[in-house]
Amino acid sequence: MQSIRFINDQSVKLFIYICNLLTRIRFTLARKQDKLPKDYVLCNVACSPLRAFPDDKSEMVSQILFGESGKILRKKGKNWIKISCTMDGYEGWTDPKTVFFLTEKEFAKCCEAPAYSTDIVSYLINGDITTPVLLGSNLPKFDGIGFYHPEYKYVFNGGAIQPQTARINKEILIKIAKKYLNAPYLWGGRSPFGIDCSGFTQVVFKTCGYTLPRDAYQQAEHGEMVDFVEIAEPCDLGFFQNEEGRITHVGIILENQEIIHASGRVRIDKLDHEGIFNRQTKKYTHRLKWIKRIPLSWHLEKPSIAEPKLLK
């Protein structure tokens, strides 16, 4: 009986050894497969700064919002990566702890049919963990509740708009723009908690399905020229120049010759052929260079009172 018990014990030990060995082999193969090059990143926090140099004290040149992606250009130690943003090609250094690393296949999925958050702050829910997302953040392949993420299963509890399927019009764009009212001016900012003039126009138009470059002088190369302020329409872009004639400012034109723009804060001011007139100071603050009309597909449609179902 003792010899039989010994044989049984040895058999159990051998079985456990073989199971453990097979498990190690399986995980080794999985790790090898997982070593596909991860040359892309996805912003995994509400907002991550892009800096001119790999230093926390360096100038912030822009920001990436949750769900926005980029390609890795360089790495410096464990604390910095330089990326080129997918949307506009803007380059900057960011902290790798704020992003999720992607394979090329995962990156392609993250670029498919994005929706954009339309609340100043919404939340992603993953079990008992919540992650804040800001106005204009990306939600790839959004289905009304969740969206694609290569690792986490999020539930989204806010309003969103999907330009590919929603009926976008001027009223929607202006409504989104006005959600930024009183957001403080921040050089390089792209969020409702700090934004610069071109970041403001870029994110508003992105949310409505049109990609603008990052800087005002680059945005000025888009669209069709509008000859007079009097014939400008809501959603046209007004560009403004400094004393040397360089474009340094941009805003979105509203009805009744008004303009919404980021200057000190996101505000609404009067606009005429001279430029922007500040009602509080009773002075002109920006000198008009020209006005451009962005050729959006809905630009010729009559504004509709109906809004996309998911827009709050």
pLDDT digits (tens, 9 = 90+) for 134-179: 999 999 999 989 999 988 889 999 999 998 887 788 999 999 999 9
Q: Closest Cα partner for 204 from 263, 163, 249?
A: 163
182 plus 239 within the same structural domain: yes
157 plus 214 within the same structural domain: no
* CATH code, domain carrying 181: 3.90.1720.10
**pLDDT at res. 299:** 39
pLDDT band of residue 105 (cuts 50, 70, 90) is very high
Tally of structural domains, the chain: 2
**pLDDT at res. 219:** 96
For residues 186, 45, 116 and 195, what is the CA-based torsion angle, rounded to 10 degrees? 0
**pLDDT at res. 33:** 47
28 within domain boundaries? no
Q: How far apart are CA 54 and CA 70, in angstroms?
A: 17
248 within domain boundaries? yes
73 plus 51 within the same structural domain: yes
For 30-45, the pLDDT digits (tens) are 444 455 578 999 999 9
Mean pLDDT of the chain: 87
Q: Which residue has the tokens 């138009």?
A: 205
* CATH code, domain carrying 80: 2.30.30.40
**pLDDT at res. 115:** 94
99 plus 194 within the same structural domain: no
pLDDT band of residue 22 (cuts 50, 70, 90) is low
97 plus 156 within the same structural domain: yes
Identify which has the larger pLDDT, 19 or 244: 244
Domain residues for the domain of 224 are 170-293
Q: Last residue of a domain, which of 161, 185, 220?
A: 161
Q: Please, which residues have CB within 8 angstroms of residue 106's CB and are 6 or more apart in sequence?
A: 40, 150
17 within domain boundaries? no
pLDDT band of residue 306 (cuts 50, 70, 90) is very low
Q: How far apart are CA 92 and CA 268, in angstroms?
A: 31
pLDDT band of residue 296 (cuts 50, 70, 90) is confident
- Is residue 13 predicted with pLDDT exceeding 70? no
